[in-house]
Amino acid sequence: MHVFTTNKDMLEYLEPFRKAGSTIGFVPTMGAIHTGHQALIKRSGNESDVTIVSIFVNPTQFNDPKDLIKYPRPLAQDIHKISGAGADVLYLPRDEEVYPPDFVPVVFDPGHLQQVMEGPFRPGHFEGVITVVHRLLDVVKPSRLYMGLKDYQQQTIIRHMIKKVQMPVELVPCTIVREEDGLAFSSRNVRIDPALRSIAPSIYQTLLEARKMLETKEADDVRTWGSEILNDLGFRTEYFELCDGISLEPVIQKKEHDLIVGCVAAWLGDVRLIDNLVLKGHPLNA
Ligand code: AMP
Between CA 270 and CA 273 the distance in angstroms is 10
| Long-range residue pairs from 251-256, CB within 8 A, at least 24 positions apart, any chain | 251/219, 252/219, 252/220, 253/218, 253/219, 254/214, 254/218, 254/219, 254/280
> Is 134 among the catalytic positions?
no
Sequence letter at residue 106: V
Q: Measured from the CA of 146, which atom of ligand 1 is nearest? A: 10
Measured in Å, residue 133 CA sits from the centre of ligand 1 at 14
Between CA 138 and CA 192 the distance in angstroms is 36
The 10 Å Cβ neighbour count of residue 270 is: 10
The active-site residue out of 2, 34, 37, 112 is 37
Residue 286: its pLDDT value, please? 54
pLDDT tens, per residue, the chain with 286 residues: 999 999 999 999 999 999 999 999 999 999 999 999 999 999 999 999 999 999 999 999 998 888 889 889 999 999 999 999 999 999 999 999 999 999 999 999 999 999 999 999 999 999 999 999 999 999 999 999 999 999 999 999 999 999 999 999 999 999 999 999 999 999 999 999 999 999 999 999 999 999 999 999 999 999 999 999 999 999 999 999 999 999 999 999 999 999 999 999 999 999 999 999 999 999 997 5
Between CA 211 and CA 203 the distance in angstroms is 13
Measured in Å, residue 248 CA sits from the centre of ligand 1 at 19
Residue 253: its pLDDT value, please? 98
Domains contained in the chain, CATH given? 2-174 (3.40.50.620), 187-277 (3.30.1300.10)
Q: Which residues approach ligand 1 with their CB closer than 6 A?
A: 29-30, 36-37, 39-40, 147-148, 150-151, 174, 176-177, 184-187
- Give yes or no for a contact between 152 and 276, defined as CB atoms under 8 angstroms apart: yes
Residue 64: its pLDDT value, please? 86
Residue whose Cα lies nearest atom 11 of ligand 1: it is 148
SS3 per residue for 133-163: HHHHHHHHCCCEEEEECCCHHHHHHHHHHHH
What does the chain come to in residues?
A: 286
User: Looking at the whole model, is its pTM more than 0.85?
Assistant: yes
Q: Measured from the CA of 177, which atom of ligand 1 is nearest? A: 20
Measured in Å, residue 48 CA sits from the centre of ligand 1 at 19
- Give yes or no for a contact between 263 and 154, defined as CB atoms under 8 angstroms apart: no
Mutate to test the pocket of ligand 1, among 42, 71, 150 (most ligand atoms within 8 A of CB): 150
Between CA 142 and CA 20 the distance in angstroms is 14
What are residue 60's phi and psi, to 5 degrees? Answer: -75, -10
